[in-house]
Amino acid sequence: MDSGTVTPIATATNTAGKPIDLGRGPGQIAITPNGKTVYVVNRQSGTVTPIATATNTPGKPIKLGRSADQIAITPDGKTAYVLAMFPGTLTPIATATNTPGKPINVGRIPRAIAITP
């Protein structure tokens, strides 16, 4: 199966940029509060790809395992949380290092994630 892409849009001109190659099945996207990094969940490859917005350059995919689906970033931008339906976990990622932490069991087939200030 081929990799998916994300296409950046210059909102000032409504112009599409060059598509960015990612893992398989890109889906949910979250942006750090400072706007410097975009995180894209690649459902079929079980990874999250960080993208530097200044250069539209993807970083090394962060391996999480199967069923990575939803993502949310804390208001301080220090942690991204990725929800996996199977096995029902929430994995924190330290955005400073793009390192995943220990998955948190959240129950069977979780569907969504939200973070409050």
**So what's the pLDDT on residue 84?**
93
Confidence of residue 66 (pLDDT cuts 50, 70, 90): confident
What's the topology of domain 5-105?
Neuraminidase (2.120.10)
Q: What mean pLDDT do residues 26-55 have?
A: 96
Confidence of residue 31 (pLDDT cuts 50, 70, 90): very high
How would you write the chain as a 3-class SS string?
CCCCEECCEECCCCEECCCEECCCCEEEEEECCCCCEEEEEECCCCEEEEEECCCCEECCCEECCCCEEEEEECCCCCEEEEEECCCCEEEEEECCCCEECCCEECCCCCCCCCCCC
Confidence of residue 65 (pLDDT cuts 50, 70, 90): confident
**So what's the pLDDT on residue 117?**
87
**So what's the pLDDT on residue 47?**
94
